[in-house]
Each structure stands twice: as C-alpha cells, then as structure tokens.
Amino acid sequence: MEAGQLSRPALPKPPTEGARTRWAPPGPVVEIGSMLVLLGTALRRAVRGPLDYGPELVSQLRFVLGICLFPLVLTAFALSFGPAGIQASNFFELFGALDRMGGAYQIIVVRLFAPLVVAITLAGAAGTAICADLGAREVREETDALRVLGVDPVKQLVVPRLLAMMAAGVLFNIFAIAAGMLGAIVVLWQNDAAIAPFLSTFFSNATPLELAASFVKSAIYGAVIATVCCSKGIRASGGAQGVGRAVNAAVVVCFASIGFIDYAYTQLVLGTNPLLSQVRG
C-alpha cells in the first residue's frame, strides 16, 4: 500500500443483481477493530514529520470551542444545581450538616459530572459535526481525490480532529468543574449556608490524583469520540442518506462507549488507589 492511502478493513462487498446471498453490514468486532486501527494510525502519523497539520488543528479547535463551550457550561451548572444540589442539600439539611456537602461535591463534580458532561457535549455537538463533515467529503469522493494527489487523508483530516477533541476535552473539564462549583455555591446561597465550611470539606477530600484522573478521563473521552466519529464519517456511503445513517450510528456508539469507559475507568482508578475511597474530612 502506498504512503498516504487510508487502510480500510476487508468488508464484505454488496452482491450483484440476481445474487441470492444478502449483504450484511460488518459486525461489531470488525467495527471496533477498524476504529482501533484508525486510532493507532492517526497517533503514529501525528508525530511523524512533516507536521503540517497545525492550521487545520487550530481551525478545528476553534470550531469545537465555539459550538460546545456554552452548552457545556450550561449543562454542568444545571446538573450541579438541580439533581445534585437540591437533592443533596435536602438530605444534609435533615442532619444540620450542609457543610458536609463539600465532600459530596468533590465526588459529584470532579469525579463524575465534569468528565461526563464533557463527553456528552463533545459527542452530541462536535462529534456529530465531524462525522457529517467527513461523511460528506467521502460521498463526494473528496478523500479519493486526496489519495490520487498523494495527500494522506488520515494525517490531513483525522489527526487534527483527534488532537483537537483531546485538547478540548482537557480544557472543557476545567470549565465543567468551575460551572459545577458555581452551582454548589448557588445551592448554599439558596439554603442560607456558609461557604467557608463547604470549601473546607471540599478541599479536605480533594486530591491532586483525583483531579489528574478527571483530566485523563476527559482526554480519553475526546480520543474515543473523535475516533468513532471519524471512522464512521470516512466510511460513509450511499449519498445523503448514508451520511445521516453514519451520524446516527456514531452517536449511538459514542454514548455506549462513554458509559463503558466511565464504569471501567472509575473502577480502575478506585481499585488502584484505595485512598480515594476514604473520607478525609
């Protein structure tokens, strides 16, 4: 295979007219394998010179920031203030211990809600746009034209989007944590509770390891979402309807992957670091 060509998995071809066999889409094993191959190829070519994808990387990062930042902040604040804040404040108020909400919010915001909101926003807004963009390029045979010209479509199209989604995931995690803490402060203000005891218990339970794990999880979410959406996009076929099916399938796979990663990663971090399961303040 010549350099610059996108490796494709050996998928079954649709039968010709009159054939008795029915063509079926590739199974989940083939789909996961092709996504892993694409991820590995993109990571290798991201560090292989010449590194000429900088302008496209900046453009994609600006695009992701523009369409995801406001929904992310709004969602993180709403989840922190609503389901978490109101329910938690009602529970702790029964015991006159609203200051203990700090320890609960360390788990709710830093460990759970912030990375989850980042993943949902990236998948729902940026991921669908990436899949539709690459799918439209594929059905118009633009990627084939790039290969004919000797341009590597993985390096020029997939790598900038992969790096942009990973960087945006890390950056958005900061905004999600800040918005979540703002929702907690609004809950305290609504219940006429002091902020200092809340912050004291929060920082007593928070650790640098927990914060680092939150950033790593957000980066993993960004990498997985970008890989799934790029893989579905560059393998779209069937015109506009095929692009729509690819976007729908990408969203389903992304949300299933988010749930699996959230469970597996959290269990791995807690299993290897028992200190995070202890109450420290």
Q: How many angstroms separate the CA atoms of 182 and 174, rounded?
A: 12
pLDDT of 281 reads 58
CA 203/CA 274 separation, integer angstroms: 18
Query: pLDDT digit of tens for each residue in the chain (281 aa)?
Result: 444 444 554 444 444 444 444 444 567 788 888 889 999 999 998 888 788 888 899 999 999 999 999 999 999 998 888 777 777 777 777 777 677 777 778 888 888 889 999 999 999 999 999 999 999 998 888 888 888 888 888 898 999 999 999 999 999 999 999 999 898 888 888 878 788 888 888 888 888 888 999 999 999 999 999 999 999 999 888 888 889 999 999 999 999 999 999 999 999 998 888 877 776 65
User: Which DSSP string do the residues of 77-146 spell out, in sequence order?
Assistant: HHHIIIIIIIHHHHHHHHTT-GGGHHHHHIIIIIIIIHHHHHHHHIIIIIIHHHHHHHHHHHHTTHHHHH
Contact 21, 15 (CB under 8 A): yes
For the chain, give the number of residues: 281
Cα dist from 115 to 7, 73, 125, 242, 245, whole Å: 32, 12, 15, 31, 27
Q: What is the DSSP string of 172-221?
A: HHHHHHHHHHHHHHHHHHHTT--HHHHHHHHHHH--HHHHHHHHHHHHHH
Tell whether the torsion through CA atoms of 74, 76, 80 and 83 is positive or negative: positive
pLDDT of residue 104: 79
Instruction: Decide: 162 and 42 in contact? Cβ < 8 Å.
Output: yes
C-alpha 244/C-alpha 135 separation (Å) is: 9
Q: Quick one: tokens of 173?
A: 């995690």
pLDDT score at 126: 93
Q: What token pair was written down for 184? A: 């907690």
The pTM for the full model equals 0.84
Question: Quick one: pLDDT at residue 17?
Answer: 43
Secondary structure, 3-state, 36-64: HHHHHHHHHHHCCCCCCCHHHHHHHHHHH
